[in-house]
Structure formats: structure tokens, C-alpha cells
Amino acid sequence: MSGQNTSGAPPAAGGGLLDRRALFEGALGAGLLSASGAAAETLGDPVWTQKPGANFTPYGQPSRFESKVKRVWAPPANPATPGIGASRTPHQFLDGAITPNSLHFERAHGGIPDIDPEQHRLVIHGLVKRPLVFTMEALSRYPMKSRIAFIECGGNGGSLSQPVAQNVDAQAIRGLVSCAEWTGVPLSILLDEAGVDPAAKFVFAEGADSAGMSRSIPLAKAMDDALVCLYQNGERIRPGNGYPVRLLAPGFEGNMNVKWLRRLKLVASPVMTKDETSKYTVLLDSGKTWQFIWPIEVNSFITRPSPGIGMPGPGLFEISGLAWSGAGQIKTVEVSADGGKSWAPAALQDPVLPKALTRFRIPWKWDGGPALLQSRSTDAAGNLQPSRAAMIAERGLRGQFHVNCILTWAIGANGEASNVYV
């Protein structure tokens, strides 16, 4: 890896200086209050200070001034079947690590079902001693655990496999990853109750959507940290994310976290469903295919600046972004302003949780010249996020799944950011 510089003096990067310890004092956008101008004059008497405000609401919504902050999705191939595809999280407008439920990405293969929880059942059957059926009410009596975890669609970043960089934003490229506090029943408890036959090696998980989306989960994962989830960020899971119940397979590719979960069948070998054979596999140039690539690879990207969220002008600015890995905790994130020639370490926001989005931040003193901003992360298992060139050298350009390469934002002299390949 060229130009590595992760300690000591900050690198004199193209476009300016990156330094985690830079001081922001007196250098940013605050204006000075004029000597004669009292605070009251500056603040004035806006209308909202003059009359009583609005009433409370049973279920709150954002300010009307935030209407630009929304999920987007491509129209379906067939207009008669909407809700097939994916809606994307607008990371360029967010901060922190939690994704609010209303903006969590959604992936659906047969639209979003409107499930009545009173009628919905979860069945555990196949290679078990006692096949079981659960009402949602019964499930809610079981012991639960909560954990903050990311979920990422295996197809996130797929556009980076295209030969020419598209003029799109962070939401379009990396909007299929989100993070929430998930609460549910450890799957191991339910499987213990059913009594798993020693011949069972996989759990076939099936959704109650019209696509019958289904995957084969290795039994070891099911017994390790999988949760049968009822709650997302405190409240019941949203319809687009699996209401009334979904599987959480922390760190595994999105569609293994089966939504609208209705069936768990213990089986001896993978079922080879359409969702793990024709899709969610990577066809290499060699003609061979990667299949059952379960854990999400180490990844990161910069959310601010990014296309649509440009630099306000030369001077100090805090670069902010997100990192994650299906292998566990993020260990380091480095940021480059010269397209990967030199790197400086970013600060990671505590607590750094395993298999969760991790916010990173680093001050950048932009000199106003052209710059190529990148981030790369390393996880606790030692995996380093690859460059796009290295990824393509390994896989070719066919693979549109598990694309975890470095993303580059070019900063123009006008401060605007754009997606480029370097």
C-alpha cells in the first residue's frame, strides 16, 4: 500500500491537510456579533417567538423544512408490480450511527406485504424433535436481547462494478446499508425448544411476502448470534423491514436477514433457492462463481462532503463518514485527500460496536485546490478495504454483489463533490 502515513505528522495531502488533532478555534463559519449590535437585535422577533406554537402529536414527524431527506428508489421493471427493488437511505443528510426507522433502506422482491400480526404464524419444522408453531403473542413472551447492528444488501455499491463512474450521490451508491437497535428472541432458544436433529446443518428461512424470499442459513450462525426480531429502534419493526417479525443474522448479507419470517426448516444441506443461486452470487471472469458469501466485507465511505453536500469554501471542515464489517468491530479508518497516496487516521465514535455502523470523523484544512477524498477501513480481524482497482483485478467487472471497494469523491475548485474512479 503506497504512501501509508498513519502516525506522527499529518500528511501534506493534495488539496490540503488532514489531521485528527486540528483545532477548530476561530476558524469556522461563526460570525462576530458587531460591537454595537446587542444579541436581541441580532435575534430579532421571528414569528415563532410571538405566538403559541403547535400542539403535540401522537406519532411525530420531521420538520416541514426537512422534506428533502427521504428514501429514493428506481421504478420497477413492471409498473404493475411496484415495491420490487430497493429504497435507499440518504446518508448524505444524516449523522451519528443509528438510521431512523423511517429512513432505513428496504429491499423487497415481491412488494411490501400488509401482514396482520394476529393471523401471522412462525413455524419451526424439518429435522427437529418437536415441530413448533408460534403466534406473535407467544413469541413476545420469550427472553429477548437487543443489539445495534447494520444490515447491508448484498447488492450495495454494485454500481461501482460499472466501467464508467456515474454522476450520482452517496445515497445512490451506498444507500443500501443502515443501522438500528434490533430486539428479539435468540434463535438458539427457539431451536433448543424444537430440539435440533444432529443431521441438520442449515436453517431454511422463508418470508411471507408474495415472493417467498428464502435463504439457507448455516446452523452455526443460527445458534450463534441470530435473533428473531420484533423491535427496531424501540418500536415494532416497520412493514418495509419485516413486520411483524424478521430474522437478524448480524453481519451476514441483507437477504439472509429474512423479513416477514414465517418458516424455519431445519435441513441437512442448502435448499438452493432462487435467492441464493441466480442472485446474490458473484460471477468471476474465470467463469467460476462465488456462492454463499455470507459475511459482509469491511467497508467505509465519506458522507460529508459528498455529492450534493459540497465544501462551503477553503478552510477547516470536518470530514464525516461510516465504516462497518461483517467480521466484527472496525479497528481503524484512514482518510486520504490525494486519491490514496497518503493517509491519516480518523477518530472513531465510541462505542465501537461489532457488526454495527461506526461513525468516523477527521478535520480537513482544504486549500481550495482539487482533491480526491477517500476512506478505507480495517476491521478487528485485520481485513483492509481494497481499492476499486484491486477488487476488479480479483473479480473482474461482472460482480455486482459484495462490492466493498474504496469510494472516491473528487472535490472541484467550486467545492462540489463528485463520484470518480481513480
To a second copy, the closest distance from the beta carbon of 411 in angstroms equals 15
131 sits near a second copy (criterion: CB under 8 A): yes
Any contact of residue 114 with a second copy (CB under 8 A)? yes
Among 17, 165, 168, 189, binds a second copy (CB under 8 A): 189
> Are 111 and 83 within 8 A, CB to CB?
yes
Q: Torsions phi, psi of 283, nearest 5?
A: -85, 120
416: left (phi over 0), alpha (psi -120 to 50) or beta: beta
How far apart (Å, rounded) are the C-alpha atoms in residues 402 and 388? 12
Nearer to a second copy, 1 or 133 (CB): 133
Q: Could you give the C-alpha distances from 422 to 139, 404, 419, in angstroms and in order?
A: 50, 15, 10
**Least distance to a second copy from the beta carbon of 205, Å?**
13
> Minimum CB separation from a second copy for residue 363, in Å?
6
Interface with a second copy, residue 290, by CB under 8 A: no
Q: Cis check for the bond before 307: say yes or no (omega within 30 of 0).
A: no
Which residues lie below 8 Å from residue 40, measured CB to CB, with a gap of 6+?
none
Restricting to residues 147-186, name those near a second copy by CB under 8 A: 180-183
Q: CB within 8 A of 392, min separation 6: which ones?
A: 161, 405
156 burial (CB, 10 Å; 0-12 / 13-18 / 19+) is buried
Residues 260-279 that bind a second copy (CB under 8 A): 260, 262-263, 265
Contact between 39 and a second copy by CB under 8 A: the answer reads yes
Taking CA atoms, 161 is separated from 66, 138, 148, 278, 375, in Å, by 32, 45, 30, 18, 18
Provide the minimum distance between the beta carbon of 338 and a second copy in the complex, in angstroms, as a whole number: 22
Name the helix (H) or strand (E) containing 170.
helix 170-174
DSSP H or E run through 394: helix 388-395
| Residue 287 is a binding residue for a second copy (CB under 8 A) | no
Kindly tell me which residue out of 7, 21, 77, 116 binds a second copy, with binding defined by CB under 8 A. 116
Min dist CB 101 to a second copy, Å, is 6
Minimum distance between the CB of residue 373 and a second copy, rounded to whole angstroms?
16
Q: Where does residue 57 rank: exposed (0-12), middle (13-18), buried (19+ CB within 10 A)?
A: exposed
Task: Decide if residue 197 touches a second copy (CB under 8 A).
Answer: no
- Tell me which stretch binds a second copy (CB under 8 A): 91-99, 155-163, 334-342, 402-410: 91-99
**Subset of residues 345 to 374 that bind a second copy, contact rule: CB under 8 A:** 349, 351, 353, 359, 361, 363
β-partners of residue 290 are 282
- The reply to whether 83 sits near a second copy by the rule CB under 8 A is yes
Among the residue ranges 72-80, 292-300, 337-345, 406-414, the one whose residues contact a second copy (CB under 8 A): 72-80
Among 3, 141, 166, 292, binds a second copy (CB under 8 A): 141
Residues numbered 369 to 408 that lie near a second copy (CB under 8 A) are none
C-alpha cell at 163: 466501467
Of 16-35, which residues contact a second copy (CB under 8 A)?
24-26, 28-33
- Using CB under 8 A as the binding rule, whether residue 233 contacts a second copy is answered as yes
Three-state secondary structure string covering 290-312: ECCCCECCCEEEEEECECCECCC
Under the binding rule (CB under 8 A), the answer on residue 415 touching a second copy is no
- In the bound state with a second copy, the residue whose beta carbon lies nearer, of 2 and 50, is 50
Q: Least distance in Å: CB of 216 to a second copy?
A: 16
